[in-house]
Amino acid sequence: MLYLTESDVLRFLPMTDCIALMRTAFERLASGEAINQPRRRLHLPTRSTLHYMAAGDGRYFGAKIYASNPRYGATFLFLLYRAEDAAPLAVIEANHLGQIRTGAASGLATQLLARPDSRRLALIGTGFQARTELEAMLAAIPFEQVLVWSRSEEKLGAFVRHCVGKFRTEIIAAASAEEAVRRADVIVTATNAGQPVLEDAWVKPGTHINAMGSNQAQRRELPSDLVLRAGLIVADSIEQSRMEAGDLLLAFSEADWARVVELKDVVTGRIARTGPDQITLFKSIGLAVEDVIAAGTVYERAVAAGAGANLPSGTR
């Protein structure tokens, strides 16, 4: 059994490869080869929380387990097993694993749902996840310009300086969220906000939106009127969204859930954008099956490269 570090994950899981892996994961969900179990949370009086989610993709199965505390942050691990015989294969540090696969799922959704002529991206948020979201967006579509906004001018400036040095696309700091959103063909919200970070009136017809910052039932980044105006609403999992997608839960009546489709149905071609003026929305919660397929690839590449530290696998 291998122990693989964050450095191993960064080495063996490039974004372009991970976008392709996300397509495969949702194809396997559509065919029934993959199974996914929604996230569960154990809350302690200390405000610490244990989060755990499990899935199998046909070849591998496993669980992501992470602990968080508002004061001390979060620590992520993924436990990988072989599906054929339940043999334990790896313990993988999974902070970057989750960051990369989350961006890749948004990149896949953007390839499938955004207008082909989309050229301007608005990125709201400059935290840890925002950098990977930007990388995924630029891997998905040849954007000519990226407008970034953050509530913190200091973080905004640092983010733009870092990204200008890393990507060839024009990346600029927007004066306001409204300026960024009004000019955008595609919008990504990657924040820890509890209330909407943009307004419905700012979003032009035909825009594609990736909302991925909230996976808590009482937190959201999008206003209700924008969610309800969207002509096509796509979730990675309806089951899990009904538990923790605040952007949808806080906007919907029970009848509105009938409008939501799953990303697997878009990947297989059963559902598609219907016109250039349709607003499309991908609500990302993050699924364990995404972690499984990414972790399996990291493990295979690590074995081939002779990377990782050996751990005792225990008795069986």
Task: For helices 128-140 and 95-113, give the axis angle rounded to 10 degrees.
Answer: 40
pLDDT of residue 215: 81
Tell me whether domains 2-98+289-310 and 103-287 share a fold. Answer: no
pLDDT of residue 291 exceeding 70: yes
**Cα dihedral sign, 255-256-262-265:** positive
Residue keyed to tokens 């499309």: 280
Assigned CATH for 103-287: 3.40.50.720
**Alpha-carbon span 291 to 64, nearest angstrom:** 7
Cα–Cα distances (Å) from 102 to 4, 21, 86, 246, 284, in that order, read 19, 12, 26, 17, 8
Per-residue pLDDT tens over the stretch 64-73: 999 999 999 9
SS3 146: strand
Strands (E) located in the chain: 2-4, 35-43, 49-56, 60-69, 73-82, 88-93, 120-124, 145-149, 170-173, 186-189, 208-211, 232-235, 260-262, 280-283, 309-310
pLDDT of residue 192: 85
Look at residues 150, 187, 189, 104 and name the one whose alpha carbon lies nearest to residue 160: 150
Q: Mean pLDDT in the chain?
A: 95
**Alpha-carbon span 241 to 12, nearest angstrom:** 30
Q: Using an 8 Å Cβ cutoff, are 103 and 133 in contact?
A: yes
Per-residue pLDDT tens over the stretch 79-102: 999 999 999 999 999 999 999 999
Question: What does the pLDDT average to over 145-168?
Answer: 94
pLDDT of residue 186 exceeding 70: yes
pTM flag (> 0.85)? yes
pLDDT of residue 313 exceeding 80: no
pLDDT of residue 315 exceeding 60: no
pLDDT of residue 70: 92
Per-residue pLDDT tens over the stretch 73-84: 999 999 999 999
Beta partners for residue 80, in sequence order: 62, 90
Long-range contacts from 166-174, C-beta under 8 angstroms, 24+ separation? 167/134, 167/135, 167/138, 169/138, 169/143, 169/144, 169/145, 170/144, 170/145, 170/146, 171/134, 171/145, 171/146, 172/145, 172/146, 172/147, 172/148, 173/147, 173/148, 173/149, 174/122, 174/147, 174/148, 174/149
User: Binning pLDDT at 50, 70 and 90, where does residue 128 land?
Assistant: confident
Question: Percentage of the chain surpassing pLDDT 70?
Answer: 99
Could you tell me the CATH superfamily of domain 2-98+289-310? Answer: ornithine cyclodeaminase, domain 1 (3.30.1780.10)
Per-residue pLDDT tens over the stretch 188-222: 999 988 899 999 999 999 999 999 987 888 899 99
**Cα dihedral sign, 207-208-213-216:** positive
pLDDT of residue 312: 82
SS3 122: strand
Beta partners for residue 54, in sequence order: 37, 63
pLDDT of residue 260 exceeding 60: yes
* Neighbouring residues of 158: CB distance < 8 A, sequence distance ≥ 6: 126
pLDDT of residue 216: 82
Domain boundary assignment for the chain: 2-98+289-310, 103-287
